[in-house]
Amino acid sequence: MRFLTHAHNWQGDTGIAHRLVEHVGMSLLATVIGTLIALPVGLYIGHAKRFQFLAVSVGNLGRALPSFGVLALVFPFTLRYSVLQFGGLGFSATLVALVLLSIPPILTNTYVGIDGVDPDVIEAARGMGMSEAGVLRKVELPLAVPLIIVGIRTAAVAVVATATLAALVAWGGLGRFIVDGFATRDDSQIMAGAILVALLAIITELLFAGIERLVSPKTSTRVPFGTTRG
Amino acid sequence: MRRFRSTVLGASCALLMLLTACGSGGGGKSNNPGGGKVACTGGSGKSLTVGVSAAFPENILVAEMYAQVLENCGYSITKKLDIGSREISDPALVKGDIDIKPEYISSELAFLDPSAPTSGDPAVVAGRVRPLLAKKGIALLDYSPAADQNVFVVTQDTATKYHLQTMDDLAPVAGKLTLGGPPECPKRPFCLIGLKKTYGVTFGDFKALDIGGPETVQALDAGAIDVGLLFSTNPIIQAKHWVILQDDKHLQSADNIAPVVRQSVLDDTIRTQLDKVSQALTTTELTQLISRVAVQREDASAVATSFLQDHSLL
């Protein structure tokens, strides 16, 4: 713990504060991009009931894909093209690995959430004259939101934990302390890095639990006006 | 550094053995006893076991050279070229499981006495390691000019652009350059600390990559870093016509190759023959030979034979 309580370890470009910002920034960007890719695809598959095998197989295979392997494959590739060299050495390779990591849970949960909406409810909505877009936006999406948020939460927590790999390809983030500590046999530095990553993952988890509570439909718990509890 | 890499290379070699024969395998006897063109007697059937410090291509290659020149003199040679690390090969040598192996003087010194001061002068390093080995009944023979050590490397373009030949040349331009090396570099005397102290070099940026491995090579090749820390016998340096910056002030500890032999088996013929091999071997030529084994997949034994014949040692 001594590493964490020294003020000078928190300051500067290689300090904890800066590494924390890098880590959060990288994780946030990867999760947002992953959501932007997986959410529309999941909504379409769930609503149209087509290409379901895609959602299932991407979900299953994607989760088996080791991020470290992706990173090792993508890193030399990103070096070859100057257009991929934004954000500093190792940034784009890490981003690709993390986006790929975030897609499966979001895609699967979105698809399952939409697919699981009671067909009678959808029929009723159509019967009221709602358009397909209206059905998706006003009926299916609100009912599926809790599951979708769980998908994004799963992705975000995994991304926060895995963003440590960035340090293996010369980029920053909290993984720097783990990798550098390992190389110099500095156990307190490794511990500090590991603790910070774990804390960040827990905070992410709690944050999403809060969001989930806010956006969940409150239908079932509300007591209709004029009735009395007995 | 070297010890760590040896372990990594040893492990990858072990992995390779599942697919192909790595090196020439352990425990086998050579096919051509005493069949060389160069006459040598003195072995008179004495049994010797030649081992390796750790089983990676470079060490296996040098061990093959030792085995073949001695076999040519009439020694009965057994080869044990599959030992994984110095942690195993050193005790094996003391116990007599092996009699001879090629070593790296600075790595051996660091292994025997981690607190021993290092030096860029091989004579100084050899002088420090010799008595430590003698206490265990092991003789250190003369070291070769060939060494496998840390070198700072730039591409031909970078060398031309900034007029770089020696480490001293880096000082005025280093602020514009990025160094790539292992993550421990900022804390190590042979790296950032020593660069500043010995050469007055402070790089504009440092990128933590790997220990002379594929990442550093790829990053240097792509121009993502300007200077890379590699090992002197990495064949890629010659293949890409990269420039090794001369370490005039001996920042790197001298890791020259030298045979270590059990005192109880050492005789004049062994000493003479192994001295000849050490003298013939240079870093440049060793690098080319490693490239034939590791890149072109030639048999280590055959490559060793052709080297010895080229130098009229066989």
Neighbouring C-beta atoms of residue B29, cutoff 10 Å: 11
Residue A63 CB-density burial (10 A; 0-12 exposed, 13-18 middle, 19+ buried): middle
Q: What confidence score (pLDDT) does residue B86 get?
A: 87
A192 vs chain B: nearest CA distance in angstroms?
Answer: 17
Determine whether the interchain pair B208/A184 forms a contact, defined as Cβ–Cβ distance below 8 Å. Answer: no
Residue B271: count other Cβ atoms within 10 Å of its Cβ: 15
Name every chain B residue with its beta carbon within 8 A of the beta carbon of A182.
183
What's the per-residue H, E or C state across B257-276?
EEEEEECCCCCHHHHHHHHH
Residues B119 and B112 sit within 8 Å (Cβ to Cβ):
no
Q: Which residue of B has its CA nearest to A165?
A: B209
Spatial CB neighbours of B293, under 8 Å, sequence gap ≥ 6:
B57, B60, B61, B299, B300, B303
**pLDDT per position as a tens digit, B104-114:** 999 999 889 88
Q: Is the pTM of this model over 0.90?
A: no
pLDDT of residue B15: 43
How much is the pLDDT for B31?
45
Per-residue pLDDT of chain A (230 residues; tens, 9 = 90+): 678 888 888 888 889 999 999 999 999 999 999 999 999 999 999 999 889 888 888 888 888 889 999 999 999 999 988 888 888 899 999 999 999 999 999 999 999 999 999 999 999 999 999 999 999 999 999 999 999 999 999 999 999 999 999 999 999 999 999 999 988 878 999 999 999 999 999 999 999 999 988 887 665 554 555 555 44
pLDDT at position B19, please?
41
User: In the prediction, which pLDDT does A217 show?
Assistant: 66
CA neighbours within 13 Å on the CB side: how many for B143? 23
A179/B208 Cβ within 8 A: yes
Neighbours of A211 (CB within 10 A): 14
Which chain B residues contact residue A178 at CB under 8 A? none
Q: By the 8 A CB rule, do B97 and B141 touch?
A: no
- The rounded distance, in Å, linking the Cα atoms of A148 and A142 is 10
The answer to whether residue B180 neighbours chain A at the CB level (below 8 Å) is yes
Q: Which residues of B touch A179 (CB under 8 A)?
A: 183, 208
pLDDT of residue A81: 87
Is-contact B257 B146, C-beta < 8 A?
Answer: yes
The whole-angstrom separation of Cα A149 and Cα A14 is: 34
**Residue ranges in chain B whose pLDDT is less than 50:** 1-34
Q: With contact defined as beta carbons under 8 Å apart, do B227 and B203 qualify?
A: yes
Mutate to test the interface with B, among A13, A85, A86, A89 (most CBs of B within 10 A): A89
Shortest Cα distance, chain B CAs vs residue A47, angstroms: 45
Alpha helices in B113-185 (DSSP H): 122-134, 156-162
What pLDDT does residue B4 have? 46
Q: What is the 3-state secondary structure (H, E, C) of B56-77?
A: CHHHHHHHHHHHHHHHHCCCEE
